[in-house]
């Protein structure tokens, strides 16, 4: 993923996490990761595995491409 793609994905991750009506602690529990990892996703420091991205997309009610494209529908 190039820098532009990584930036878009970070924005998409923040938007997806914001769509989930739950605390970061609850989101982390549902995804099987730490709250710190959720913070890292939101900051654009880390990107979830494909499996975790799929779970996050389901929780947010979006598809994985929506997240990768910065939370925008194409």
Judge whether residue 24 has pLDDT over 70: yes
Residue with the bigger pLDDT between 67 and 72: it is 67
Judge whether residue 8 has pLDDT over 80: yes
Number of domains, the chain: 1
Judge whether residue 20 has pLDDT over 90: yes
* pLDDT tens-place string over residues 39-65: 999 888 999 999 999 999 999 999 999
| pLDDT the model gives residue 74 | 58
Which structure tokens are listed for 9?
């994905």
Predicted model pTM: 0.87
Which domain CATH number covers 41? 1.10.260.40
Residues in the chain: 74
CA atoms within 13 A on the CB side of 11: 10
- Is residue 72 situated within a structural domain? no
- Is residue 71 situated within a structural domain? no
């Amino acid at each position: 993923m190039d820098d532009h793609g990584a930036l878009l994905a970070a924005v998409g991750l923040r938007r997806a996490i914001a769509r989930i009506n739950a605390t970061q602690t609850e989101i982390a529990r549902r995804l099987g990761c730490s709250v710190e990892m959720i913070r890292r996703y939101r900051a654009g420091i880390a990107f979830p595995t494909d499996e975790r991205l799929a779970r996050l997309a389901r929780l947010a009610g979006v598809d994985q491409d929506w997240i990768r494209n910065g939370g925008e529908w194409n």
